[in-house]
């Protein structure tokens, strides 16, 4: 299997990294060579002579094969703000990201590409995360943060994905607020309104246990949907 998947979310801190790492672990259990990519990241720390992002480092560590950091996260910006602002001195170029993705694709069975922010988060002065997904021509997984406002955010994001002409492989809910009121009822409304495959719910955890989180994901649906993208 040679597949790729673009992972977007309803907002910043929606649980995209948890979802990406959970899927990486699940696919590795099926003996797939899986790598993660975080093309653009803001809010980085200076480590070993370069800016590095905590989420991108987690994807690097979880990948099936050792990879240089700059291949996983080509654009790493210091300031924890929108990439178009943080990267005004070194704006994102889609062609470079396509080249890095193609390199990863040649090395692995599955490449999981995690976006930054939401679907329409700007990556430079004129383009958004959606343009990156279009440039890579990848199916999209929508990560829905279960919190107040998520029904609206998820509905708008799914509509935008479909309007862009990309296939939404499905959606995965992430419990990010342990004090959320009526989470089960909200989940039922999402299931009724989001016309895409439902893959499961990642429950709230203070520290992520990806083995445990993965038990809630419908791996059969994921594998079937990924195979359809080949």
- The answer to the question of residue 79 being in a domain is no
- The answer to the question of residue 85 being in a domain is no
Domain encompassing residue 209:
3-38+94-227
pLDDT at position 54 is 96
- The answer to the question of residue 68 being in a domain is no
Nearest Cα residue to 80 out of 26, 116, 133: 116
- The answer to the question of residue 129 being in a domain is yes
How many domains is the chain partitioned into structurally? Answer: 1
- The answer to the question of residue 127 being in a domain is yes
pLDDT tier at 214 (50, 70, 90 boundaries)?
confident
Measure the CA–CA gap between 117 and 38, rounded to whole angstroms. Answer: 11
- The answer to the question of residue 88 being in a domain is no
pLDDT at position 181 is 95
24-51 pLDDT tens trace: 999 999 899 999 999 999 999 999 899 9
pLDDT at position 132 is 98
- The answer to the question of residue 202 being in a domain is yes
Q: Kindly give, in sequence order, each residue whose CB lies less than 8 Å from that of residue 124, ignoring residues fewer than 6 positions away.
A: 83, 84, 87, 91, 92, 93
Tokens matching residue 170: 């499905």
Sequence ranges of the binding site for substrate: 42
Residue 21's domain is classified under what CATH number? 3.40.50.300
Nearest Cα residue to 59 out of 99, 111, 103, 107: 111
- The answer to the question of residue 59 being in a domain is no
For the question of residue 98 being annotated catalytic, the response is no
Sign of CA dihedral 28, 53, 172, 205: positive
Sequence ranges of the binding site for ATP: 55, 114-117, 174-175
């Amino acid at each position: 299997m040679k597949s790729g998947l673009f992972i977007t979310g309803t907002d910043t801190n929606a649980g995209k990294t948890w979802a990406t790492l959970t899927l990486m672990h699940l696919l590795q259990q099926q003996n797939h060579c899986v790598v993660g990519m975080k093309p653009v990241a803001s809010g980085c720390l200076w480590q070993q002579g370069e800016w590095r992002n905590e989420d991108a480092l987690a994807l690097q560590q979880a990948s099936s094969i050792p990879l240089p950091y700059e291949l996983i996260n080509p654009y790493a910006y210091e300031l924890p703000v929108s990439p178009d602002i943080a990267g005004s001195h070194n704006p994102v170029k889609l062609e470079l990201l396509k080249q890095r993705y193609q390199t990863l694709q040649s090395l692995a069975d599955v490449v999981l590409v995690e976006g930054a922010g939401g679907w329409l988060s700007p990556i430079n002065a004129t383009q958004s995360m959606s343009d990156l997904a279009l440039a890579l021509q990848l199916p999209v997984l929508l990560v829905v943060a279960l919190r107040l406002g998520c029904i609206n955010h998820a509905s708008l994001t799914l509509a935008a994905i479909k309007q862009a002409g990309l296939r939404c492989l499905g959606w995965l809910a992430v419990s990010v607020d342990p004090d959320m009121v009526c989470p089960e009822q909200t989940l039922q409304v999402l299931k009724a309104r989001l016309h895409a495959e439902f893959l499961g719910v990642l429950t709230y955890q203070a520290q992520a246990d990806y083995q445990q989180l993965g038990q809630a994901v419908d791996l059969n649906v994921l594998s079937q949907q990924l195979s359809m993208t080949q």
